Structure 1
């Protein structure tokens, strides 16, 4: 496993990081806690020392699972990456309305993007309690909150850094302009953004900016919600609680096109003694400017396979071949 520093924050993370959104069950059709804890342990045993989570994932459940998992791990060898700014538990509507959704019990909840100073302080304390730790390695705003000035948000996070509760500060889903504004108040280590073979728009502006200013990029959904594993067939059924049930990438036509592309990659994967998923992960962390690939797992077997993608070596010719085949894919 390769370990990389997020910008010049001094925080080193595993190039493949455990993404625990699915572990929280929310929007993924439920979860099994024991399997999730076992998955984190299996990932750690194979070199994955960094775990990304958020309060909104399972409305606290994902953080609780991570907290349970790290109890038996050396805290100074594990990097906990969590977030703030997505509230489902406000006594009254505040901030920028994000969505109506259901929690894991099927109850309706309203989610708001809200990152006022007082909300951040409360969220940090709640996260520390659920995680069972006294500091967070990387604290990231989950989504921009247009109702709170960025300066006010980042000033509050700075105080948490001064108190020793946060080691490094990151953002998520921020534009270059928003990153610039945040940097007037706080030193940013990274930006967490969606990136995959099928979703590469950040290469136009965000990647060059982060490279120029020495900021890490944490790529989430590098497997494009599992589509790039090749395990889905046209007509695949997803429960209504699964976010893929309404995702346009999962139309029968698109699934067929992606599977045809993956079929072209299969000989290369076989040559590397790798699965298609491992080849996709290896490609992701080999891309210019990409520091980390966040990859989820529901059980120890998946977590082990994901971690082993860190052992897959791709030459310049391999990457060129993959990119050439990728250029032929026309997603509708």
Structure 2
């Protein structure tokens, strides 16, 4: 495994980071508790020391599972990344910005973006309890909240750093303009944004700004929620309540198949799977600090970690770049 310094912080994070959205179950067709814990343990066993989660993932379940999985382990060798700012329990009392309705147990639950200072402080205390720790390595605003001034949210993060409850502060899904505004109040450690072979829009302005200002970029959905593994063109099927039934509809399946057919021989030459090749390519892109990869069981977790066991030459990266122009 390779460990990388995150932006202007002293955090050294694993290049492949465990993404804990799916183990929350909500929007992913449920989960299996022991499989999820085994996936976290396997990640740690294979050098993936960084775990990224959020209160919203399973309405607290993802954080609780991580807390249970790391109990008794050396906390100093594990980096916990979590988020705040998505409220589903009504505690915002109608304040904030309506986001969407999340389905859970046959119910429709309204979710709000809410990043007021008091809510930031409240959420951190709840996350610390669920995670079973007394500090968070990186706390990130999950989504922008248009109803709360950015400087108010960033001031709360500065306060939490001063109190030692968080080591560093970042954002997620922030535009260039929002990053610039936040930078007036705090030294941002990172911006967690979607980035993949099929979605490279951040290369236009977010990545150049991050490189210039020593801000880390955390890439999420590098496999496009499993689409780039190729398995959904074969035998794998999605459950009815899996959000990917709709998500995959934005892509042209024939173009994706054509790309995967080109990538497959290269992966085989590297003795790697398609998912490993895609993850490795993502780690090698300019400005990308770490790459999130989800896993529902130990086998998937070990497979993700092994993406760092080979490299790609400049010629190979250029060849892949040429293929991507056709997608």
The reply to whether residue 280 of structure 1 matches residue 278 of structure 2 is yes
Number of the residue aligned with 2:209: 209
Structure 1's unaligned 5+ residue stretches are none
**Equivalent residue for 1:296, pick from 267, 290, 294:** 294
Cα pair 2:227 2:248 within 8 Å, conserved: no
Q: For the residues of structure 2 that align with 1:248 and 1:278, how far apart are their CA atoms? A: 20
Please, which moves more after superposition, 212-221 or 255-264?
A: 255-264
Structure 2 residue aligned with 1:265: 263
Provide the residue aligned with 2:307 in structure 1: 309
Distance 1:319 1:129 in 2: 43
CA contact (8 A) 1:43 1:304 kept: yes
Q: TM-score, normalised by structure 1?
A: 0.95
CA contact (8 A) 1:128 1:134 kept: yes
CA distance in 1, matches of 2:2, 2:234: 36
1:73 aligns with 2:77: no
- How far residue 106 of structure 1 moved from its aligned partner, in angstroms, is 2.5
- Structure 2 residue aligned with 1:82: 82
Q: Deviations over 1:192-222 (max 9, x none)?
A: 0000000000000001000100110000000
RMSD of aligned residue pairs (Cα, Å): 1.4
- 2:99 & 2:113 partners in 1: Cα distance? 6
Note closer, same or farther for the CA distance 1:287–1:249 as it changes in structure 2 (3 Å cut): farther
List alignment gaps of at least 5 residues for structure 2. Answer: none
TM-score w.r.t. the length of structure 2 is 0.97
The alpha-carbon distance between structure 1 residues 41 and 230, as it changes in their structure 2 partners (threshold 3 A), is same
User: 2:94 aligns to what?
Assistant: 93
State the number of aligned residues.
326
How far the C-alpha of 1:249 sits from its partner, in A, is 3.9
1:1-332 equivalence runs, <5 A: 1-91=1-91, 92-103=93-104, 105-233=105-233, 238-249=238-249, 254-329=252-327
